[in-house]
Amino acid sequence: MAAIKSILTETRVFPPAEAFVKQANVSGMAAYEALCRQAETDYEGFWADRARQHITWKTPFTHVLDDSNAPFYKWFDDGELNVSWNCLDRHLAARGDRVALIFEADDGSVTKVTYTELHARVCQFANGLKSIGVEKGDRVIIYMPMSIEAVVAMQACARIGAIHSVVFGGFSAKSLFERITDAQAKVVVTADESLRGGKAVPLKRAVDESLTMGDTSSVERVIVYRRSGGAVNWGARDLWWHELTQTQAETCEPVWVSAEHPLFILYTSGSTGKPKGVQHSSGGFLLGAALSMHWVFDAKPDSDVFWCTADVGWVTGHTYVAYGPLALGMTEVIFEGIPTFPHAGRFWEVIAKHGVTTFYTAPTAIRSLIKLGADLPAQHDLSSLRLLGSVGEPINPEAWMWYQQTVGGGRCPVVDTWWQTETGAHMIAPLPGAVPTKPGSCTLPLPGIMADVTDEHGGPVAKGHGGYLVIKRPFPFQLRTLWGDPERFKKTYFPQELGGATYLAGDSAHRDEDGYFWIMGRVDDVLNVSGHRLGTMEIESALVSNLRVAEAAVVGRPHDIKGEAVVAYVVLKGTRPVGAEAKQVAAELREWVAREIGPIARPDEIRFGDNLPKTRSGKIMRRLLRAIAKGEEIAQDVSTLENPAILDQLKEAVK
Ligand code: PRX
């Protein structure tokens, strides 16, 4: 495991305002501590209470935690439920007319859907899936733009017990192909095009391409939602969404499943080239989604308008767009576009337009919006806001302060939420009516989450010292396994060095004198670029699959807006290019990576060398490459390098 970086200090503390505390779902520190104590004294009883409170069960569970086959933990596994029924049907009687989704399209047009309407649409699509042979346990790939239909597709899968795997619409045909084949998907749901920032992205074309890349014979049908009306090629297995659904009944009896039945697979980057299929359960995941809405977002279903800006292609869009808000019967905004189109005030405009009360976004968006117009929020009426959230990467204290002061007017608590694709829901985050916040810290774990910072053997580290962020006890919303790869699941998350039962998050962190957590970044070869996880090995594999490239090493470099930038060191098969040639090859390789993985992985910078700095045993010295990328003086002894002379070449970035 890698070395830990240095630590910063931040002394500002913001206790929750009295008015907020008064109305909070968890009110005051004593209430938070009481919950923590209950979890400590009766761990299973604590989780059982929460699962009864937040989920409506078809068959109540009698088992809580089954750890007989650790780390393949099971929760509530003899209980039966349906996630879609919990998100829709259970609200119909009391709040069927309430708006569930407010869809804000790229061009600013708005479509609202009530719970009754959403229920009917989900049932129709679920019936459509059934009519083409989709059954419980089948995998459905969803490669869709942000849309009501994307949520409908996910909920419809949940309704019939099919396992969805959403692939972010910005991923390439090749990435899509890898996910389709790994999941052995029976159906792919897509759209003709997605519209973002006034530009059309041809999704159907990428699906067509992915299906020619190898053996995709598992795929029986491709369902196409007509978003833009753009031209598409049509094949024998293609079906229009509207044609599939128009004759379907508006009711569909849900398939009741065990709490342990997989709800979805979501692929995420790890430290090898192959993305990991993170598999979540139905009961545990739903509990995490609903509970964290209640605790961390202090959800008030009768009056809140919730807006999470994440795409459904990421876990944040699963938990806090497709499931969490609906599980509580809330009204939420779904946004198709980008923060800067048609102008840099778009986010603030949308908040004012829909009266958003709870806003959840990523530090990278906050930083870029500060840069584009720190005073723009003041031009909009943001008085509806009462709570602000941040997710995806460490938020720097300056951005936190701006968010709190300029967007939140100093009256809204800021919840910095640490969690991961693997944890399914918030893990370390302030309960806003209880826990005082500090800019840059995700504060304290949710009650019942036994988070800690340890050394590499699982031993304690002193306050203020960095170490590995771990979770010491299993929790209901954690991933169950990696799809098709239980060994990798065990090795990655429950390593023997930590005893085999402690969850290793892959982040480094430290705790301050108040026990607050400060996340310092990944300890593995995973980058966090604009809040998105990218494996350096994935980008390296993409580069070396280009015929010109002999060898490549990818590292991250701090970046003002994106958090981290991708820097690639490349050795070509021929001679090292210089001048105009270097420029041209670098441009070509950047596009190559964007095509292979997706535009988010496009290297910010490419540097060419005759070779790479290696130890005499042939190991690439990544630490050195990171230092060079940052423009740091090389303090380290380079005498063990096989080829110290190339360091000067690598200092030269292609402009
Ligand atoms: O490094 C942490 C960072 O994002 C990683 C998880 O990425 P992903 O699975 O894509 O999920 C992102 C959305 C939950 C973590 O290992 N991260 C996430 N939230 C925070 C964070 N780092 C610091 N502070 C956060 N609030």
The pLDDT tens digits for 186-228 are: 999 999 999 999 999 999 999 999 999 999 999 999 999 999 9
> Once rounded to an integer, what is the mean pLDDT over residues 261-275?
91
Instruction: Report whether residue 419 contacts ligand 1, using a CB cutoff of 6 Å.
Output: yes
pLDDT per residue over 289-307, tens digit each? 999 999 999 999 999 999 9
Looking at per-residue confidence, does 32 or 650 come out higher? 32
Q: What single DSSP character describes residue 319?
A: I
Q: Supply the pLDDT for residue 638.
A: 74
Q: What single DSSP character describes residue 328?
A: T
> Once rounded to an integer, what is the mean pLDDT over residues 447-469?
95
CB-based burial label for 342 (10 Å; 0-12, 13-18, 19+):
middle
Instruction: Report whether residue 530 contacts ligand 1, using a CB cutoff of 6 Å.
Output: no
Closest CA to 332 of 163, 118, 55, 52: 118
Q: How confident is the model at residue 1 (pLDDT cuts 50, 70, 90)?
A: very low
Q: What is the chain's length?
A: 655
Crossing angle of helices 283-295 and 43-54, in 10° steps, is 80
Q: Supply the pLDDT for residue 633.
A: 82
Q: Supply the pLDDT for residue 170.
A: 95
> Once rounded to an integer, what is the mean pLDDT over residues 70-75?
98
Give me ligand 1 centre to Cα 432, in Å. 19
Tokens, residue 53: 């409170």
CA dist., res. 419 & res. 425, Å (int): 6
Average pLDDT, the chain: 95
Say if CB 200 and CB 109 are below 8 A apart: no
pLDDT per residue over 75-128, tens digit each? 999 999 999 999 999 999 999 999 999 999 999 999 999 999 999 999 999 999
Give me ligand 1 centre to Cα 397, in Å. 17
Tokens, residue 609: 């060398």
Q: Supply the pLDDT for residue 7.
A: 52
Q: Which helix (H) or strand (E) holds 415?
A: strand 414-417
Say if CB 395 and CB 416 are below 8 A apart: yes
Instruction: Report whether residue 392 contacts ligand 1, using a CB cutoff of 6 Å.
Output: yes
Give me ligand 1 centre to Cα 424, in Å. 11
Q: What single DSSP character describes residue 421?
A: G
Pocket test for ligand 1, best of 390, 519, 525, 527 (most atoms within 8 A of CB): 519
Distances (CA, A) of 612 to 214, 565, 629, 642: 33, 20, 13, 9
Instruction: Report whether residue 528 contacts ligand 1, using a CB cutoff of 6 Å.
Output: yes
Say if CB 267 and CB 141 are below 8 A apart: no
pLDDT per residue over 334-383, tens digit each? 999 999 999 999 999 999 999 999 999 999 999 999 999 899 999 999 99
Q: Supply the pLDDT for residue 236.
A: 96
Q: How many CB atoms lie within 10 A of CB 655?
A: 7
pLDDT per residue over 11-67, tens digit each? 899 999 999 999 999 999 999 999 999 999 999 999 999 999 999 999 999 999 999
φ and ψ at 468, to 5 degrees? -90, 130
CA dist., res. 314 & res. 268, Å (int): 9
- Ligand 1: which residue has its CA nearest to atom 23? 394
pLDDT surpassing 70 at residue 6:
no
Under DSSP, is residue 531 helix (H, G, I), strand (E, B) or coil?
A: coil
CA dist., res. 373 & res. 378, Å (int): 10
Q: Has this prediction a pTM greater than 0.75?
A: yes
Q: How confident is the model at residue 162 (pLDDT cuts 50, 70, 90)?
A: very high
Say if CB 273 and CB 541 are below 8 A apart: yes
pLDDT per residue over 420-442, tens digit each? 999 999 999 999 999 999 999 99
Q: How confident is the model at residue 550 (pLDDT cuts 50, 70, 90)?
A: very high
pLDDT per residue over 475-517, tens digit each? 999 999 999 999 999 999 999 999 999 999 999 999 999 999 9
Q: Supply the pLDDT for residue 606.
A: 96
Q: Supply the pLDDT for residue 648.
A: 86
* 3-state SS track over 603-628: CCEEEECCCCCEECCCCECHHHHHHH
Crossing angle of helices 29-41 and 43-54, in 10° steps, is 120
